Structure 1
């Protein structure tokens, strides 16, 4: 068995010999993506239940975070919500790991939706916001619409342009079904 992770999620198949051509291309793409990540990733290969492990050995490039995790009290609802909002901005569906959380992968980081490891109820961070970079105003709008359609609640001002010290930004804010505050951001040309 092997597992591989990329922007599309974790991919598991019986053995490399039975890997179809599409998986071979997928694995080649994974190798390229891993070279761009700001950390060194180690793939665990083993029997059933093997998991993906990351080792942060050295930082390169300009990515600040290796991962962001938010807690949930309803993993099924959270997956539906995040599949929709992250799908609206170009990411694949979350993949269930053996430890019982969902992982969404980009070229530079990982977003994780998980029940709290301490067994307590998940609560949103007071003053915390998770921001997602978007390629266009249309992506911000699609992200927001997908979230509202899947149990999110719009907060703050409606999606739109904000003038900030960092320049013009197109922003949308909402809370996920567990109350975590999220933002979609597109940096506009000046």
Structure 2
């Protein structure tokens, strides 16, 4: 149902470096790059994730209550992506762990303060 998700940035070069390293762990590659933004995805398999300079020219700000969740194949990958986000300068918003039965996830903020989750479904309750 979701085709793509976009978060804002005020420093495209810095954001691209952050997400290149982070999303590579999930098998994503750059699908497009313009002077305003970059998008990553897996050809034909998943929705695209992009980071953009705001179209209206105003500064990018963090949406209160907004969050993007990235799906991983397993708990180990959740842990690796969360650790990589922190290594790249992201802020911890919740360590990897089980939440609500079969949901295993972790939370972090990117370099612009956008909140993201990385998760997998474990199949156990």
Q: CA deviation at 1:178?
A: 0.3
Aligned partner of 1:103 among 27, 39, 63 = 39
In 2, the alpha carbon distance for the partners of 1:129 and 1:137 equals: 20
Q: Which runs of 4+ in 1 moved over 4 A?
A: none
Cα distance per residue 1:98-124 (max 9 Å; x no partner): x52101123131111100000000011
Q: Which residue of 1 aligns with 2:27?
A: 90
Aligned partner of 2:13 among 69, 76, 87 = 76
Q: Which residue of 1 aligns with 2:114?
A: 180
1:145-160 map, 5 Å: 145-155=83-93, 157-160=94-97
TM-score normalized by the length of structure 2: 0.90
Q: CA deviation at 1:94?
A: 6.1
Structure 2: give runs of 5+ residues left out of the alignment: none
TM-score normalized by the length of structure 1: 0.61
3-state secondary structure, aligned to 1:158: strand
Q: Which residue of 1 aligns with 2:105?
A: 171
1:14-93 map, 5 Å: 64-93=1-30
Q: CA deviation at 1:85?
A: 1.4
RMSD between aligned alpha carbons? 1.4
Structure 1: give runs of 5+ residues left out of the alignment: 1-63
Q: Which residue of 1 aligns with 2:55?
A: 117
Q: CA deviation at 1:77?
A: 0.9
In 2, the alpha carbon distance for the partners of 1:159 and 1:95 equals: 30
Give aligned pairs, total.
122
3-state secondary structure, aligned to 1:113: strand
Cα distance per residue 1:132-165 (max 9 Å; x no partner): 011011111111111111110001x3211112xx
Q: Which residue of 2 aligns with 1:139?
A: 77
